[in-house]
Structure 1
């Protein structure tokens, strides 16, 4: 009788192991689905160029124009400036002002300081995205390449 009891217990243990493995694999798949459901890309996921523009704006422009392009007492609110009715309502006007600066108002001529025009274009892409309401304040998320 002992032999049949231990054989039965071994069979139950083996069956339980298989069942446990199946439940574990199923749980992992369900957990992945739940994780994907709750970790979608943020609304304002941006291209690499816009992300680089955000970084360059924060390095070079935010000290005067404010965090998130909201302006300060020193320099204007660029979200408003880039609107269709604003004073810098085209890409060309933006590039011209940034490159030549506004020395009378204390803004440096960034091109004479060695800033690459490609960087200025990336800054424009970021500021324009904020002006158009396509981005929220704060650090944007980058689109995954691939």
Structure 2
């Protein structure tokens, strides 16, 4: 009886955590994404992030963002990108990415990191 109750509590906590951590992106067929995530891909392209992080976010001079987004929270990501919290490692601040742009960029990169968004061009969901 106690085990059953404990299991129920643990499952409820896990479900609550999963809902609280809902993905910040929507994707279908690997490359069709919601408007915010599409804006994130466009931000990625316009900021030329691939110069350091590679065209598929797997790293070059800069680290793999596929791996980085597995360990950094959204707030940590924003600090690194916008404020340049990794300037000593070669990541300068990008204050022009504040607000809506950084939120959208995070959505796109998180989808790539989670393996839900395929590498390459993305298009709008229909």
TM-score by length of 1: 0.61
User: Where in structure 2 are there 5+ consecutive unaligned residues?
Assistant: 1-27
Tell which has more relative contact order, 1 or 2 (C-alpha 8 A, sep 6+). 2
Corresponding residue for residue 53 of structure 2: 65
Runs of 4+ in 1 over 3 A off after TM superposition: none
Please name the residue that 2:10 is paired with.
none
In 2, the alpha carbon distance for the partners of 1:131 and 1:110 equals: 21
Distance 2:83 2:64 in 1: 19
C-alpha contact 1:70 1:77 (8 A) present in aligned 2: yes
From 111, 117, 120, the counterpart of 1:129: 111
- Structure 1: which 5+ runs fail to align? 1-41
- Number of residue pairs aligned between Structure 1 and Structure 2: 96
Pick from 81, 89, 93 the counterpart of residue 105 of structure 1: 89
Structure (1/2) with the larger helix percentage: 1
- 1:84-123 mapped onto 2 (5 Å cutoff): 86=71, 88=72, 90-101=73-84, 102-111=86-95, 114-123=96-105
Partner of 1:140: 122
Aligned counterpart, 1:43: 29
C-alpha contact (below 8 Å) 2:38/2:123 kept by paired residues: yes
Which structure is larger by alpha-carbon Rg, 1 or 2?
A: 1
RMSD of the TM alignment (CA)? 1.4
Deviations 1:66-89 (A, max 9, x none): 1121110x1000101111xx3x2x
Q: TM-score under structure 2 normalisation? A: 0.70
Q: Distance in 2 between matches of 1:81 and 1:103?
A: 16
